[in-house]
Amino acid sequence: MLDCRASLADPLFGERAFAEGHISGAQRADLDADLASSPGSGGRHPLPDAADLSDCLRRKGLNEDAQLIVYDDAGGAFAARAWWLARWLGHENAAVLDGGISAWRGPLEKIRQTPNPGTFRRREALTRIVRVDELTAPHPYQLIDARAENRFHGIDEPIDPVAGHIPGAICRPFQQNLDTGGHFLPPAALRQRFSEFERPVCYCGSGVTAAHNVLAMRHAGLPESALYPGSWSEWILDPTRPVAT
């Protein structure tokens, strides 16, 4: 198990939450240190180096064919990133704990266990990415933005220096993949949200919550969407790229 709890407003939140209590045997997966590389030309949360991430998962004890379970306390907003990255490295046996840590009925522990190194190895990717240069108009994709509608429409932008969205995108906030209890909607309801799109590419602010929409499509039984990892935070680095509101 990987504990993926995080807060974009507080980089130390996940570590504190893990120390206060986590599922027995879980290992900490830090959004910034493990699940992304340093901010820069690729946006706020660029993909980690594949070899570095593979080494990280081995150090955390992941074996080649083991079932990987990832969780957070945010409806899967951060756990979905870890799930997607595992598939990016070719690990099919990966799942998000539906409902997160609050759905766990067993005890929590404060002890930080040190696992034996695992046998995980990178395989052929099970998912697909789209780079920013593939999205210059005209392009054949339907962009799906996972951010809240107020950010999508440029009404409120609390994180990035430019507000709005990539022209041609449609808004499907990741939070609406969940019911009021924080569990994923039934597959039929998710199919209604996403089945109309051909050649979908998911994005968000920095490529994190976009994975939630990819997961929702998989849960709905739809073909796996591609992901634009750099997302909005990379798109706006070039002032010549168009912006819509």
Residue 60 pLDDT: 98
Instruction: Give me the residues of the chain with pLDDT under 70, please.
Output: none
Please report how many Cα atoms fall inside a 13 Å half-sphere around the Cα of residue 159, on the Cβ side.
20
Tell me the per-residue pLDDT of 107-125, one tens digit each, with 9 for 90 and over: 999 999 999 999 999 999 9
Region(s) of the chain under CATH 3.40.250.10: 2-109, 132-235
Cis omega (within 30 of 0) for bond into 229: no
Which architecture, in CATH terms, is 2-109?
Answer: 3-Layer(aba) Sandwich (3.40)
Q: What is the pLDDT of residue 50?
A: 98
Angle at 94 between CA 93 and CA 99, to 5 degrees: 140
Q: Are 47 and 38 in contact (CB under 8 A)?
A: no
CB count in 10 Å sphere of residue 106: 7
pLDDT attached to residue 202 = 98
What is the number of other CB atoms lying within 10 angstroms of the CB of residue 234?
A: 24
Classify the phi-psi angles of 82: left when phi > 0, otherwise alpha if psi is within -120 to 50, otherwise beta: alpha
The pLDDT value recorded for residue 137 is 81
Q: Which sequence positions are flagged as catalytic?
A: 204
Q: So what's the pLDDT on residue 143?
A: 98
What is the model's pTM? 0.97
Nearest Cα neighbor of 68 from 2, 165, 138 is: 2
Contact 204, 147 (CB under 8 A): yes
* Rg for the chain, CA atoms, rounded: 17
Task: Give the helix ranges, DSSP H, for 79-209.
Answer: 79-88, 149-152, 187-194
Class of domain 132-235: alpha beta
The residue among 235, 196, 238 whose CA lies nearest residue 217 is 196
Neighbouring-strand partners of residue 23: 108
- Tell me the per-residue pLDDT of 172-190, one tens digit each, with 9 for 90 and over: 999 999 999 999 999 999 9
Contact call for residues 226 and 130 (beta carbons, < 8 A): yes
